[in-house]
Amino acid sequence: MKLSKWIGTTIVGMSLLSTQGFAQNTITVKPTIQRYLGENTSKLDRDKYMQAHIWIGEKEDKEFEAFKSTYNINPAYKGSRRFWNPLATVKQGKKPKVKNKYKGVRDVTPFSVSTGRATNFFYDRSVDYSEADVAAYSKEMAAYIAERYQKDWPEMPAIYEPFNEPFVHAKDLYPGKGNKAKSNKAIIKISEALRDIGQAVHAIPELENMKVAGYASAWPAFEVNNFEIWDTRYRTFIDIAGKDMDMLSVHLYDGKGLNNAGGRRSGSNAEAILDMIEVYSYISLGEVKPIAITEYGRLVDDQPGWTPKNGKSNYHPIENSQAVRSQMHLAMGFMERGDNLVCAIPFSTGKQPSTKKYAKAGLWTVDKDGKAELTSRKYFFEVLKDVKGNRVHIGSDNVDIQTQAFVDGKQLYVILNNLNEETQTLNLAVEELKGLKKVETKRIKTYVNKLPQLVKDSSKEAPSTIDIEYGETIILTYNFSKNLPTKKKEYSTKYYASEYLKPIKANEANTFDFQNVTADAKGSAVLRLGVGRAHGKSLQPVVTVNGNKVTLPEDVIRGYNQHNRKEFFGLLEIPVPAEYLKSGDNKVSITFPDSNGKISSAILKVIGYSKKSS
């Protein structure tokens, strides 16, 4: 998105303007410069992304095995996430006896996440848990869960996420109608239970392979009520339970429903959410906790006239396919967080009759005779089907074009994804093309009113330009006669400010200090600034770095301007000349011309050719 201000109804028309007239739209690829996220992450960990919200387990399933084979998914993959854990066996507080079946350190099932419901923990609907003293009960139940996992639970998850989306169900922890004050107290009780579970699991050496995640945030609308939702939910959770979690989990969706009031999270909104979690983790816990995206994608609509028990189909192929666009938009951002991301599970569900609610989100559709067929959601897996290798340098001067590039032997893979609502013409500046044999092009086009298309082509010549439609993903495979060498290495390091959530006042500077920076005048840098503001307020602040004024591009917002959200909450991505930085401490000043909102986070991303100073 390129427009920083809009007024009234002009926003809609203005938001649809292409950035083509303002950006060069050049994609620069340097395949002999190996790229690292942090100091150690270069290789694409396919297992983090090639997942779905399904569970097959030990069942024999020919279609599932064929699916894994077709899309080069790890043969050991049994599924990602399911609602099954020891707490689910506790009925009305009555706990099954623990049996001594296993000894020693428990092995875990790779890639698997087990979750459950807070209402199984806080089970008595007649009790007002927002007021009741449940401290002793909470620790007792947490110890029981950990003991079950240690001694008699047959299949151990790699990640135990005790409660699924618990805070949006906080009103279920007390009788009567929903009450904001009571719900906020219930959130504290849930956070304390998560803390107790984390402590109980970590106290047992035999469970060292099973990691604990929380809190599976359903509705990370942190900006609502001047960031009250942040304060009463995710911040409260981190303050109480953060240090006892191995990772922090969240759900991110485009579309409209429980997880999102409408509009798109993909792009600047998702980036601001994740940056805020990282920054506060750094400030509060002294470390940036890993992140697990245990659900993401798009909330697709139920079919007209469908109800849970009326026998009508809730699957429509075009509605189902809308999630492919959102999944790819979000996954491209997640791949750029590969050094701090544990997993990213797109919400595409398993086989079920078309009359079931989540048939609408199925990776398979099942007909009346029980025959299963992959839906259009297979195209998400088509993107990474053949992609592997180490990251290499790639850059885009259009913030709406998301990019990734990898080299594996004789192949260079370039992935392009368009968040802009208009078709973009891109200039492809790929270096080191000596020995090129051919270029294979694979396009995945997603549409609003028709099924997606997979289009393949090949050429002996490297294209110099390429058009990319809104929501389209293009995979270019450059095939060379010899292995591509590594001539240089570049490292991307994030530096976190020690302050966050600073009010914006007209013409008053907010300053952020970044310490122990390793500067490289031959590299590059980006200031990642999370901002929550009312529509119509400026998104083009005056920025200085160590006293040097930074010239902002016209477009610093990834994706659209959020015109159909109640307010703007997103990330401003501001390129900073590398020569403005110095090794050691750096001071950044941010000044907006108008009052309103807050700066939610500030991260300085520095790319250079040497590792961070210890």
Q: Report the catalytic residues.
A: 165, 295
| Distance, first Cα to last Cα, the chain | 38
User: Longest Cα pair distance anywhere in the chain, in angstroms?
Assistant: 74
Q: Cα torsion at 427, 1, 477, 445 (round to 10°)?
A: -120
The set of residues, in sequence order, having a beta carbon less than 8 Å from that of 282 and lying 6+ positions away, is 288, 496
Burial (0-12, 13-18, 19+ Cβ within 10 Å), 402:
buried
DSSP 443-485: EEE--SSS--EEEEEEESS--SEEEE-TT-EEEEEEEESSPPP
Task: Check if the beta carbon of residue 393 is closer than 8 Å to that of residue 35.
Answer: yes
Degrees, nearest 5: CA angle 115-116-118? 130
Tell me which residue has tokens 């099924």. 451
Residues paired with 36 in a beta bridge: 491
Instruction: Assess contact for 392 and 407: CB atoms under 8 A.
Output: yes
Contact 589, 576 (CB under 8 A): no
Q: SS3 sequence, 407-436?
A: EECCEEEEEEEECCCCCEEEEEEECCCCCE
The span from the CA of 292 to the CA of 560, in Å, is 25
Interatomic CA distance for residues 218 and 168, integer angstroms: 7
Distances (CA, A) of 38 to 134, 276, 368, 490: 42, 19, 50, 10
Which one, of 370, 350, 346, 366, lies nearest residue 358 by Cα?
Answer: 350
Cα Rg of the chain, angstroms: 24
Q: Judge residue 9's burial from the number of C-beta atoms within 10 Å of its C-beta, 0-12 exposed, 13-18 middle, 19 or more buried.
A: exposed
**What angle is formed at CA 467 by the lines to CA 464 and CA 471, rounded to 5 degrees?**
140
Tell me which residue has tokens 């659209």.
560
B/e letters for 108-139, b = 16+ CB within 10 Å, e = fewer, are: bbebbbbbbbbebbbbeeeeebbeeebeebbb
Q: Which residues contact 613 (CB under 8 A, 6 or more apart)?
A: 516, 518, 583
CB 244, CB 233: distance < 8 Å? no
Token pair for 54:
């399904």
